Structure 1
Amino acid sequence: MTQSGLVPDGITPSGPAGSHNAFVTLVTNADYAMGATALARSIRLTNTLADIVVLHTGGVNASALEPLIALGCRLAATDLLPLSDAFNERHGRKNVHDTAPFTKGRKPDFHSPLDNFCKLRLWQLTEYDRCIFIDADALVLKNIDRFFAYPEFSAAPNVYESLADFHRLNSGVFVAQPSRRTFETMLTRLDAPDAFWPRTDQTFLEKFFPDWHGLPVTMNMLQYVWFNMPELWDWASIGVLHYQYEKPWEKDHPKEQRLRPLVNLWHAFFTGENLPDIANLPNPGPPNPD
Structure 2
Amino acid sequence: MADQAFVTLATNDSYARGAMVLGKSLKNHKTSKKLVVLIGPHVSDQSRAVLHNIYDEVRLVDVLDSGDAAHLAMMKRPDLGVTFTKLHCWTLTHYSKCVFMDADTLVVSNIDELFDREELSAAPDPGWPDCFNSGVFVFCPSNETYGKLLQYCTQHGSFDGGDQGVLNGFFSDWATADITKHLPFIYNMSSIAIYTYLPAFKQYGANAKVVHFLGQMKPWSYTYNPSQRRLKGDMQGSLDPSFLLEWWALYSGEVVPLLMGDYGDQPFYSGCEEDVAESTHVQPIMSSAERKQKWEQGQADYMGIDSFDNIQKKLDVFLK
Would you say same fold, with TM above 0.5? yes
Q: How do residues 173-212 of structure 1 correspond to structure 2 at under 5 angstroms? A: 173-192=136-155, 195-212=157-174
2:27 corresponds to: 44
1:154 corresponds to: 121
Compare the two structures and name the one with the higher helix fraction. 2
1:228 corresponds to: 196
1:63 corresponds to: 46
Shift in Å at residue 282 of structure 1? 5.4
Shift in Å at residue 174 of structure 1? 0.2
Contact in 2 for aligned 1:37/1:68 (Cα 8 Å): yes
User: What CA deviation, in whole Å up to 9, does each residue of 1:110-152 have, x standing for no partner?
Assistant: xxxx323311111111111110000000101111111111010
Q: Which has the larger radius of gyration?
A: 2
Q: Output the aligned Cα RMSD.
A: 2.4
User: What CA deviation, in whole Å up to 9, does each residue of 1:215-239 have, x standing for no partner?
Assistant: 1111100011221112222343111
Alpha-carbon distance change, 43 to 36 in structure 1, aligned in 2, over 3 angstroms: same
Shift in Å at residue 42 of structure 1? 0.4
User: What CA deviation, in whole Å up to 9, does each residue of 1:143-162 have, x standing for no partner?
Assistant: 111111101001101116xx
Structure 2 counterpart of 1:247, from 218, 221, 232 = 218
- TM-score by length of structure 1 reads 0.75
User: What CA deviation, in whole Å up to 9, does each residue of 1:43-102 have, x standing for no partner?
Assistant: 0011111011000011111111222222243111112231343411x44xxxxxxxxxxx
Identity of aligned residues (%): 31
Alpha-carbon distance change, 47 to 131 in structure 1, aligned in 2, over 3 angstroms: same
The separation in 2 between residues aligned to 1:258 and 1:146, in whole angstroms, is 26
Contact in 2 for aligned 1:23/1:50 (Cα 8 Å): yes
Partner SS for 1:272: helix
The separation in 2 between residues aligned to 1:124 and 1:271, in whole angstroms, is 33
Q: Which runs of 4+ in 1 moved over 6 A?
A: none
Structure number with the bigger relative contact order (C-alpha 8 A, sep ≥ 6) is: 1
Give unmatched runs, 5+ long, in structure 1.
Answer: 1-17, 92-113, 274-280
The separation in 1 between residues aligned to 2:245 and 2:149, in whole angstroms, is 38
Moved more, 43-52 or 228-237: 228-237
The separation in 1 between residues aligned to 2:238 and 2:157, in whole angstroms, is 39
Contact in 1 for aligned 2:122/2:183 (Cα 8 Å): yes
